[in-house]
Amino acid sequence: MYRQTYPDAPGMHTSGPDSHTRVTYRDNPGFFSRVGNSFCGAFFGFLLFCGSFPVLFWNEGRAVQTAQSLDEGLRSVIHLSTVDVAFEHNNHKLVYFTGPLSTDKPLTDADYAITVPAVKLKKHVEMYQWVEHEHTKEYKEGNQVRRETTYTYNNEWRSDLVNSRNFDREMGHKNPGSMPVQSRTITAEDVTIGNFHLSSGLIGKISHFKQYPLAKSHLVPSDPQVKVFQGAFYHSADPIRPTVGDVRVEFSYAGLSANSELGPADHVSIVARQAGNRLQPYQTEAGDALELLYYGVLSPEKIFEAEHAANTMLTWAVRVGGWFMMFIALFLMTNILQTLVDWIPLLREIVSLGLFIVNLSVSLSLSLTTIALGWIRYRPLIGLSLLACAAVPWFLSRQRARNLRKEKDDKTDNILFNNLDEKAYYSK
């Protein structure tokens, strides 16, 4: 049961120049309530535990398939010597070439009179708003829990609209109800390199944005009062000391498509399937579709090497994520044991440490086993090696149990032998 204080109540006080603290109380959960919560956590942990296995198994198959697709692509790729002619004999084959980007017309934002010869033009809008930050502390006071929540209010530039109606105290911290200017990205409809037209997938990979340089004399036709400050447009009376509701607009571009004052056209290196004078994804026999674009002049070997590195990083990220899922799941499933003894401090700490070690060992062993099963289908030797590593914790635990049992049997035999010696001595 919660008991909450309200504004102007004794439990609510100011804790800073623009912050306040709200105090609430709740009863300590009883033993049966904690056990019930533990059972709910165990059920969720069981679902998470079951979900970690397919994630780990799928990841290994995906990693091997991607690696095989990349190797297949490198073996079959054709290096085009010119991009000005689309030769028919290369149709439906995987081709590689490099060259400068080109578009049919420059991109323009009429509201701010920005024109740039590029593949993408991004308008990033931020508004100066009130932002509420919440910090909570809890203290045990007898049979109750004291909860202190401190709300702090700051002015920040935010690209998302902050709804001040959700603040704990909206008075004096009211934000506008909408953004006067909207962010958006303009993308060229037709992008070419020589005689080849890029697919939407390749255009989507052009994402290396650079800030558009603004001159202080740049005027906005729709609002001449807009000021240029530190490379951005400011809808503000004083950009140095903005007020709530002021707007800041920045422009950036990606993929220069012509020589201009911004620099020469960007060169890119592409690996894709040729279909006439268009580029499309190339479907490999291994299963993946290849459609690669890199900035700069890179050889096919360098491109596929970079893709292999990215595949390795993704594989390890998913492995760690899958293991962590399993570890958290086991923690939730075994937390009921800690709940049963949490009223005995010393025993609680011992059980907690034991559960941590067991959960860590089991999650590592099961993760390695699942990863090994995923590899056995593709590379049996590696899979069997991983299975051997996964069996190490089980082998060590069995060996330890065997040693403990042997020590116990030896002690029992020694006691019996000593008793027999004593009986023989006294019988004499």
Q: What string of H, E and C letters represents the secondary structure of 49-73?
A: HHHHHHHHHHHHHHHHHHHHHHHHH
Q: Report residue 237 as tokens.
A: 């009376």
pLDDT at 351: 81
Is 253:118 a contact under the CB 8 Å cutoff? yes
What 8-state DSSP symbol labels residue 164?
Answer: G
Q: How many angstroms separate the CA atoms of 43 and 321, rounded? A: 20
Where are the chain's structural domains?
Answer: 78-129+160-298
Q: How many angstroms separate the CA atoms of 184 and 109, rounded? A: 10
pLDDT at 404: 59
Q: How many angstroms separate the CA atoms of 184 and 248, rounded? A: 14
Q: Report residue 181 as tokens.
A: 């200017």
pLDDT at 36: 78
Among 29, 7, 6, which residue's Cα sits nearest to residue 138? 29
pLDDT at 11: 46
Among 244, 218, 247, 245, which residue's Cα sits nearest to residue 231? 218
Residue spans of the chain under pLDDT 50: 1-11, 425
pLDDT at 8: 41
What 8-state DSSP symbol labels residue 231?
Answer: T
Q: How many angstroms separate the CA atoms of 326 and 56, rounded? A: 10
Q: How many angstroms separate the CA atoms of 143 and 110, rounded? A: 65
What 8-state DSSP symbol labels residue 273?
Answer: E
Q: Write out pLDDT tens, residues 145-160.
A: 888 999 999 999 999 9
pLDDT at 3: 42
Q: Write out pLDDT tens, residues 320-351.
A: 999 999 999 999 998 888 877 776 777 778 88
